[in-house]
Chains A and B, each alone.
Chain A
Amino acid sequence: MSLSTQSRTVAGRSTTPPGGEPRRKRQLLGKNPFGLLLSAPYLIFVLAVFAYPLVFAFWMSFHDYFFAAPGVDVDRPFVGLDNFREVLADPAIIRSFGNVGIFLLINVPLTVVLSLVLATALNKAVRFRTFLRVAYYVPYVTASVAVVGVWIFLFSGNGLVNQILGPLAPDPAWLINENWAMPTIAIFVTWKGLGFFILLYLAALQNVSEELYEAASTDGAGKIRSFFSVTVPGVRPATVLVLLLSTVTGANLFTEPYLLTGGGGPNGASSSPVLMMYQRGIEQGSPDSAAAIGVILVIGVLILAFVQRKLAGGDES
């Protein structure tokens, strides 16, 4: 943890409880133990609700496990890394990880760039402001189940998109084309999720002071210049957040491949790790394999998040 720039004098002036050993206590619980108090409800919630399933899932991945009725005697031997070996040897699963990589490569940069640009523009727009903002938010609120039908129709063999493209349209149409299935899904998810990230940026933009823009224009910077020198650095913490959240939700992609390509798509070209987890764990009754996939996925995402933090520069934590 990097140290904050809190001045030393402030620390010395913190409230000290009457009597007792104030210095010791401060070191034991940190400078502001009040923070612990504030976070207690959340911590209790997480531990009470998620701790058991999380640890259980992790434990399952190392055992030969399936769910059984209570009171049933079942042999559940520890199998070490067997589940992991089996899962990593399956080409369908490797493919699903590859697919999600392609997805992230398209979705994340597109999301970050588009949402910032759009949020900036929406922030300044005055006329029809409500209509415009609602327009960008609406895809986010509609349940995927409903919108999917429209997209399938738009991107079908003789759908609107192909009719516009004419001879440029790919031969097996988008969603049944091995090469285009995942990118199509990536575009769908980007479109659908932008509302969320635009909102995040909109909120962050409220904190970029007008004076900075004025200073920049006094210095002779044009719109584009001030965008890059004022806006982008000004919302950097939000950018870090957008990067993180879009990566995390992207890695957990499930509903869209399932609905848009009805399963794993042409030869598994649009399957995702969570889809595989669903198939193995819930449809086929092998939650141990599903847990193994899940553990690998979580580790992968945490590594990605860590790398992003290094590259994008972390916030003060």
Chain B
Amino acid sequence: MHSNGMARRILTVTAASATVALALSACASGGSTGDAATNRGPITIWYSNNETEIAWGKQMVEAWNAENPDEKVKAQEIPAGKSSEEVIGAAITAGNAPCLVFNTAPVAVPQFEKQGGLVDLSSFEDGAAYIEERSGDTAAQYQGADGKYFQMPWKSNPVMIFYNKDMFTAAGLDAENPQLATYDEFLATSRTLVESGAAPNAIYPAPTSQFFQSWFDFYPLYAAETGGTQLIEDGEATFNAEDGAKVAEFWKTLYAEGLAGKEQYQGDSFADGQAAMSIVGPWAVSVYKDAVNWGAVPVPTSEGTPVEETYTFSDAKNVGMFTACENQATAWDVLKFATSEEQDGQLLELTGQMPLRETLPTVYPEYFAANPAYEQFGDQASRMVEVPNVSSSVAAWQAFRDAYTKSVITGEGDIPDALDSAAEKINALIAKP
């Protein structure tokens, strides 16, 4: 009696719901815009809610609104972290995404593109030309299929190795010229740091399994080791070759010898004095300047590479224009305004993050002269690798991370095998349309 009753009830529920659902979907509006590409008028934008970016955003909006009272910009904040992708994805589906989002992660762009949510910027008359003139060769990494630009490269945070000068001194190491260029040197330095008791951990990247964590341990070193190769190129995984294995083995050694922490750390391990080094971009300079006496060097490679030839990961955040926008002509103008030389300069001043503009140090010499701490980042910004612009990129990174946490952090299994099976999975994932 009970089982029949329950099943019957569930079926009734489903049937009733289906009827209602059909009725509701009939009410759903299709909604089509006029000629959005050439319309002008007020627009809405989103930017991230961290303090320095809010400061930049507010002054940019004010400056624009002062000169364009008929095309006012309204700005709202969204979280900077992973939940920003959820929010944007939901907004695309509901059709209420803003015109511009100054917080579009390159890894999410293929997905938003697939959803039909992004406007092709190269469809504007000066679209491709503007982007390429501003960003130079780096722009190529942000193109979608057919060379179209579904995102405007905006700013980057080239990842370098920060080190704690006081801890180095305490361990008896040279704090001004640390030995961190080759893997052997790096390992030796790390061992000295930990064994001398100067630091609980030599370096402490997040050991957790979210898909984006590999951007801050494996990927920067892989970019450096291969001189600028992306994780996936020409539709195939590249990391299951010798270079990838070397990078993975290096990290495995760090974990196996207890030089890098395996447990999740709440907070910033470098700022809290729990790690002697950290692998992060220039946004951290404003965080560390009061907490730690820091220095920075490029990421290591197996044999050592000159500073001016070392690549790294860009950790870029870009701007997307969304198809829900009704006044795209205005949006394009705002976008150009927000990435103009003046506004890029403001970005540099207020946030310390590197605009994705070619030859930064020559364009803003006064800034770098006044802030020598950022100089090496300005230079590093010309040699960066972005996440590959492929479909199912998030799934691909997750597959990679799963293999990485198992074989490198936990140290189980054989690294070439793990990389091979991850590559196989990834190749299958990105082959799907």
A residues with a Cβ closer than 8 A to B are: 1-2, 47-48, 50-52, 54-56, 58, 66-72, 74, 92, 148-149, 152-153, 156-157, 172-173, 175-176, 178, 261-268, 279-280, 282-286, 302, 306, 309-310, 314
Query: Which of A173, A267, A302, A310 has most B Cβ within 10 Å?
Result: A267
Given contacts A68-B116, A69-B92, contact A264 B209 (CB under 8 A): yes
Q: How far is the CA of A262 from the CA of B213 in the complex (A)?
A: 10
* Complex contacts, A156 vs chain B, CB 8 Å: 263
Q: How far is the CB of B342 from chain A (nearest CB, A)?
A: 33
Contacts A267-B412, A285-B111 given; does A262 touch B208 at CB 8 Å: yes
Closest to A263 in B: B209
Chain B contacts of A2 at CB under 8 A? 1
Q: Which of B2, B392, B402 contacts A92 (CB 8 A)?
A: B402
Is the pair A58, B14 in contact by a Cβ cutoff of 8 Å?
Answer: yes
Interchain CA distance A86-B323 in the complex, whole Å = 32
Pairwise interchain contact B392-A68, C-beta atoms closer than 8 A: no
| Residue among A153, A176, A309 with the highest chain B CB neighbour number at 10 A | A176
The 10 A-B pairs of least Cβ separation, nearest first, read A262-B208, A72-B116, A263-B209, A51-B17, A67-B93, A70-B95, A284-B395, A69-B116, A55-B21, A51-B20
Contact B263 A152 (CB under 8 A): yes
A306 and B394: CB pair below 8 A? no
Known: A51-B16, A157-B263, A282-B89. A67 touches B115 (CB 8 A): yes
Given the interface pairs A262-B206, A264-B209, A314-B2, the reply to whether A55 lies near B14 with Cβ below 8 Å is yes
By the criterion CB–CB under 8 Å, are A285 and B92 in contact? no
Which residues does chain A contribute within 8 Å of B323, judged by CB atoms?
69
A262 touches B17 (CB 8 A): no
* 11 A-B pairs (CB sep. < 8 Å): A47-B17, A56-B21, A69-B115, A71-B116, A72-B115, A175-B263, A176-B410, A263-B210, A267-B412, A283-B82, A310-B2
User: For A314, what are the chain B residues with a Cβ–Cβ distance below 8 Å?
Assistant: 2
Cβ of A286: which chain B residues have Cβ within 8 Å of it? 395
- Min CB distance B215 to A, Å, is 14
Chain A residue numbers with a CB within 8 Å of B114 are: 66, 68, 285
Please state if A283 and B398 are interface contacts (CB–CB under 8 Å). yes
Question: Which B residues lie within 8 Å of A264 (CB)?
Answer: 209, 402
- Determine the chain B residues whose CB is within 8 A of the CB of A74 once the complex forms: 116
User: B30 and A71: CB pair below 8 A?
Assistant: yes
Q: Which of chain B's residues has its CB closest to A314's CB?
A: B2
* Residues of the A chain whose Cβ atoms lie less than 8 Å from the Cβ of B115: 66-69, 72, 285
- Taking a contact as CB atoms under 8 Å apart, the answer to whether B410 and A266 are in contact is yes
Provide the residues of chain A in CB contact with B111, threshold 8 Å. Answer: 284-285
Cross-chain contact B31 with A70 (CB below 8 angstroms): yes
**How many interface residues does B have (CB within 8 Å)?**
53
**B-side interface residues toward A, CB under 8 Å?**
1-3, 5-6, 10, 14, 16-18, 20-21, 24-25, 30-32, 82, 85-86, 89, 92-95, 97, 111, 114-117, 206-211, 262-264, 266, 323-324, 392, 394-395, 398, 401-402, 405-406, 410, 412
**Contact assessment for A282 and B20 in the assembled complex, using a CB-CB cutoff below 8 Å:** no
Interface contact A69-B324, CB-CB below 8 Å? yes
Inter-chain CA distance A52–B211, complex, in Å, is 31
What is the bound-complex CA distance between A155 and B405, given in angstroms?
20
Q: How far is the CA of A48 from the CA of B20 in the complex (A)?
A: 8
- Hey, which chain B residues are within 8 Å of A72, CB to CB? 115-116
A123 to B: closest C-beta gap in Å: 33
Chain B residues positioned under 8 Å from A152 (CB to CB)? 263-264, 266
**Contact across chains for B18 and A55 when beta carbons are under 8 A apart:** yes
Of chain B, the residue at the smallest CB distance from A259 is B264
Partner of A68, one of B16, B21, B93, B210: B93
CB nearest neighbor in B for A178: B410
CA distance A59 to B206 in the complex (A): 38
Question: Which of A47, A261, A309 is the most central at the interface, judged by chain B CB atoms within 10 Å of its CB?
Answer: A47
Residues in chain B near residue A66, CB distance under 8 A: 114-115
Give the Cβ gap from A9 to chain B, nearest Cβ, in Å: 26
CB distance from A283 to the nearest CB of B (A): 5
Residues in B neighbouring A265, C-beta threshold 8 A: 209
The reply to whether B2 and A306 contact each other, CB–CB distance below 8 Å, is yes
Chain A: which residue is nearest B209 at the CB level?
A263
On whether the beta carbons of A52 and B398 are closer than 8 Å, the reply is no
Interface centre among A50, A58, A67, A283 (most CB of B within 10 A): A283
Q: How many whole Å from A148's CB to the nearest CB in chain B?
A: 8
